[in-house]
Structure 1
Amino acid sequence: MEQAFWQERWQNDQLGFHLPFVHPILTRFVGGFDLPAGARVFLPLCGKTLDIGWLLDQGYRVVGAELSERAVSQLFAELGVEPQIEAWKGGRRYCHGALTVYQGDIFALEPADLDAVALVYDRAALVALPAAMRQAYVAQLRALSGDAPQLLISFEYDPQEMNGPPFPVLPDEIERLYRASHTLTELSRKDVIANQQRFREAGVTRFVEVAWRLTPTA
């Protein structure tokens, strides 16, 4: 999507994608990755998700990337901490303790900005991007994370009933995007249309949330 689209969503508080609770997929499955204490978890297009505070409470280091300055400011305010803010070539870097968030263009990030990534938690990034952008996003993610394992959340629904964002990303596309670097394991799938008011009102009959484990092949 155009950057202006997401900036406008945040500016107008159109935050239907923001959950008021820690995602149960994260709490259910992150332990299966056997991450050591202090491991670095990268959240692309992180918004102000409550998942970040939960990960910090578990003793992990967290690096996020987020376009919206408003989202990042609200994230730190809701965590109750005052970040150190400095410029980087893609925008501004916010840091406090074990949390760093790069506000700006994720495609301007370089591997040295993140250091070693133990896990990528893609809770809302791939599904936020139209098909034309996904290949470039996956290539950037691989460059940044060194083909780290991933916990990925995708959605499946009929785009003829409505099209996102969030967009449907089906298993064959995930396989095509990641088969060069990862093997895919489906961890769970659940129809969550009851929780998707905007999609229900548009006539969508089925909205399936799928959790994937992506394991590096190398």
Structure 2
Amino acid sequence: MKLVVVSAGLSVPSSTRLLGDRLAAAVSRQAPVEVRVVEVRELAVEIAHNFTNGFPGRNLAAALDAVTEADALIVVTPVFSASYSGLFKSFFDVLEKDALAGKPVLIAATGGSARHSLVLEHALRPLFAHLKAVVVPTGVYAASEDWGADGLDGRIERAAGELVGLMTGLSATRPATSAERAESAGGVLTVVPFAEQLAALSPNGGRG
């Protein structure tokens, strides 16, 4: 399975990239994945040219293809003015329409203060819902004080597990249905129409 990490960190080294790497490592521990990282910072000039001439450069085109072909995404942005960065948004603005439709996405962000953690719910989740992606329930926000503190590792593992669940299919983790159990046991399953089931539950046998 192909997993693409989209990191919009601006510095080197970057806490945003570090969070993306840790999330990808957590996914890799739970499922066999081929990880590719897209550093949006390196594509800034080509993204700007794409807006003005309508055509992606070679590196941007390769990154957009990787995202489109991925089985799942991890997207990580630094917080700017209580939202995702403009560069982060610009990358997804030049992506083809419906490229993320039905694709599992894990959202994450980094910031200097825990006060900005709501960026996950107020900005990132609505953005990827609009792009028709399937966003995992647990988003991961890492403030400066979270690195090395209790709690971050747990959120990373939980979010990674949710992403793996979507990547491998929910059928792999849900309990088997009665039909599936009967089939695996070689038995015959009798299907009772709903109207008959309802009648059987009625005190007078469904009459009146």
TM-score, structure 2 as length reference: 0.39
Larger RCO: Structure 1 or Structure 2 (Cα < 8 Å, ≥ 6 residues apart)? Answer: 2
| Structure ranking higher in helix proportion | 2
Q: Which has the higher strand share?
A: 1
